[in-house]
């Protein structure tokens, strides 16, 4: 393993949390998808309800670590990520950023704390203003927030672009003149320009081709070392998460079900859901294997199963699992899991 990962990983055990979620929940009035809207327009009855996108999550991210957040579509990863980044207020609970409750801050201090966390999205195009040149996209925020003087802005922007692996000669161009991978680099340069120490990356490489994805992943790892960054890395791609993370957090239907150092969770997952998830991951070194699939459907977050949300699909479910929500408990140093089986041992 590379030295670059060892050093920060060792330090993380004592480091204070850079951001912490305490008992955080978020509810939404469920919006209809395209098929449902169309059906409703044609007279089919479709109900509107409340979704518990995130349901009572505690999570601490320590300075210098890379935390991978995984789980199936709709389990609440992006919602949790946006709350942690301070761009979506929780319905319940608190988010502490750099030790401060985001709600209690205002004025320049609130701005400083907010800038310290930046978010990188899956679709960089949607988040880049199409009418601005790259130099404006990257230079706008540092100028407004007084991080660079106008006289030195050009050099400052060049530096951010170079860091993100873009030739500064391209800075007079508009976003549509770039490929997907290059647009992601523009998004990264824009985030770096406000000198954050914490990046929330939400499916940041999901839209990219494999060879371009490798370029961006390498860039994230290089920046971590150079700028001493902390990451929350949201991805449905377990291969990517395993490659990059020090610690992995697994969500199922709005709740954290397991949390562990990356190497341990991939070697010996504790929670039955994590076990099922990892068993299904296709791997390039597993040839002509037989797939099985986790039984049953991912339940709707509108109407989640009682007790342990996973019980209808769990091969080990017991009576208690239908009745009682399992708490996320320590099962070993640095490892937590939310499963009643751990009480039997």
Partner 1 sequence: MTPPTLEVRNLRTHFFTRAGVVKAVDDVSFTVERGKVLGLVGESGSGKTVTGFSILGLVDPPGRITGGQILFKGTDLATLSEAQMRDLRGNRIAMIFQDPMMTLNPVLRIDTQMIETVLAHARVSRAEARQRARDALGQVGIPSPEERLAAYPHQFSGGMRQRVAIAIALLHKPDLIIADEPTTALDVTIQGQILAEAQKLCTQYGTALIWITHDLSVVAGLADDIAVMYAGKVAESGPVSEVLDAPLHPYTRGLIGSVPSRNHRGAPLSQIPGMTPSLLNLPPGCAFRARCPRAEARCAEPPPFAEYLPGRHARCIHPHLAEVAAA
Ligand X SMILES: Nc1ncnc2c1ncn2[C@@H]1O[C@H](COP(=O)(O)OP(=O)(O)OP(=O)(O)O)[C@@H](O)[C@H]1O
Strands (E), the chain: 17-29, 50-62, 66-70, 92-97, 100-101, 117-120, 198-202, 230-234, 247-252, 255-261, 329-332, 335-337
Asked if 8 touches ligand X (CB under 6 A), the answer is: no
337 binds, among Mg ion, ligand X, partner 1, none (CB under 5 to 8 A by kind): none
Binding status of residue 316 toward ligand SF4 by CB under 6 A: yes
| Cβ proximity to partner 1, 38 vs 144, nearer residue | 38
**Segment (H or E) for 341:** helix 341-344
Residues 258-277 that bind partner 1 (CB under 8 A): 262-263, 266, 276-277
CB of 331 to ligand SF4, least distance (A): 12
| 68 touches ligand X (CB under 6 A) | no
Q: Which does 213 bind (CB under 5 to 8 A by kind): ligand SF4, ligand X, partner 1, none?
A: partner 1
Q: Which of 23, 89, 296, 334 binds partner 1 (CB under 8 A)?
A: 296
Using an 8 Å Cβ cutoff, are 115 and 196 in contact? yes
> What spatial distance separates the first Cα and last Cα of the chain, rounded to whole Å?
34
Instruction: Give the three-state DSSP class for 277.
Output: helix
CA angle 237, 263, 332 (to 5 degrees): 120
- Give whole-number Cα distances, 305 to 65, 147, 213, in Å: 34, 49, 36
Report the alpha-carbon distance of residue 178 to residue 60 in Å, rounded. 37
Q: Which residues, in sequence order, are bridge partners of residue 118?
A: 199
The residues that bridge with 52 in the sheet, in sequence order, are 27
Q: Which is nearer to Mg ion, 113 or 248 (CB)?
A: 248
Q: Which of residues 79-108 bind ligand X (CB under 6 A)?
A: 79
Among 9, 24, 53, 67, binds ligand X (CB under 6 A): 53
Can you tell me the distance from the alpha carbon of 178 to that of 207, in angstroms, rounded to the nearest whole number? 14
Q: CB of 138: closest distance to ligand X in angstroms?
A: 26
Query: Least CB distance from residue 258 to ligand SF4, whole Å?
Result: 10
Torsions phi, psi for 182 (to 5 deg): -65, -35
Report the alpha-carbon angle 76-78-79, nearest 5. 60
Q: What is the dihedral of CA 61, 64, 68, 74, to 10 degrees?
A: 50
159/116 Cα distance (integer angstroms):
19
Q: What's the token pair of residue 82?
A: 């946006």
- 315 lines the binding site for partner 1 (CB under 8 A): no
317 binds ligand SF4, rule: CB under 6 A: yes
What is the helix (H) or strand (E) element at residue 200, kind and residue range? strand 198-202
x/- mask, ligand X, residues 211-240, rule CB under 6 A, reads: -------------------------x----
CB of 215 to partner 1, least distance (A): 5
- Cβ proximity to ligand X, 88 vs 170, nearer residue: 88
Q: Which stretch binds ligand X (CB under 6 A): 75-83, 148-156, 183-191, 264-272?
A: 75-83
Q: Does 166 bind partner 1 (CB under 8 A)?
A: no
Q: Does 252 bind ligand SF4 (CB under 6 A)?
A: no
Dihedral angle computed from the Cα positions of residues 205, 236, 266 and 119, in that order, rounded to the nearest 10 degrees? 60
In degrees to the nearest 10, what's the CA dihedral of 114, 118, 124, 128?
A: 40
Q: Residue 213 interacts with partner 1 (CB under 8 A)? A: yes
Choice between 69 and 276, CB closer to partner 1: 276
Judge whether 95 and 86 are in contact, CB under 8 Å: yes
Please select the residue that binds partner 1; options are 126, 169, 292, 344, rule is CB under 8 A: 292
CB of 252 to partner 1, least distance (A): 10
Which residues in this chain contact partner 1 in the complex, by CB under 8 A? Answer: 1-2, 4-5, 33, 35-36, 38-39, 42, 44, 46, 72-73, 179, 181-182, 209-215, 217-218, 221-222, 236, 238-240, 242-244, 262-263, 266, 276-277, 279-294, 296-298, 300
């Amino acid at each position: 393993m590379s030295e670059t990962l060892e050093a920060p990983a060792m330090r993380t055990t004592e480091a204070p949390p850079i951001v912490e979620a305490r008992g955080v929940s978020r509810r939404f009035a469920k919006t209809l998808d395209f098929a449902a809207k169309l059906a409703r327009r044609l007279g089919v009855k479709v109900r509107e309800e409340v979704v518990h996108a995130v349901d009572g999550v505690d999570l601490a991210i320590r300075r210098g670590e890379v935390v991978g957040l995984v789980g199936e579509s709709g389990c609440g990863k992006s919602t949790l990520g946006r709350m942690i980044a301070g761009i979506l207020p929780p319905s319940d609970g608190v988010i502490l950023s750099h030790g401060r409750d985001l709600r209690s801050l205002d004025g320049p201090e609130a701005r400083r704390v907010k800038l310290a966390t930046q978010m990188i999205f899956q679709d960089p195009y949607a988040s880049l203003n199409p009418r601005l040149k790259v130099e404006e996209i990257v230079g706008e925020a540092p100028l407004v927030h007084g991080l660079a003087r106008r006289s030195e802005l050009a050099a400052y922007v060049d530096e951010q672009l170079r860091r993100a692996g873009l030739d500064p000669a391209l800075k007079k161009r508009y976003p549509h003149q770039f490929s997907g991978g290059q647009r992601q680099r523009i998004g990264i340069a824009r985030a770096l320009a406000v000198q954050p120490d914490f990046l929330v990356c939400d499916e940041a490489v999901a839209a990219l081709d494999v060879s371009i994805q490798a370029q961006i992943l390498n860039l994230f790892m290089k920046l971590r070392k150079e700028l001493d960054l902390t990451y929350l890395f949201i991805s449905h791609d377990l291969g990517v998460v395993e490659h990059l993370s020090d610690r992995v957090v697994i969500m199922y239907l709005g709740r954290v079900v397991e949390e562990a150092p990356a190497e341990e969770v991939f070697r010996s997952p504790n929670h039955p859901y994590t076990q099922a998830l990892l068993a299904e991951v296709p791997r390039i070194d597993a040839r002509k294997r037989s797939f099985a699939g986790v039984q049953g459907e991912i339940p709707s977050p509108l109407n989640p199963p009682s007790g342990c949300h996973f019980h209808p699909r769990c091969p080990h479910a017991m009576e208690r699992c239908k009745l009682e929500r399992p708490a996320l408990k320590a099962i070993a140093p640095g490892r937590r899991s939310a499963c009643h089986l751990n009480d039997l041992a």
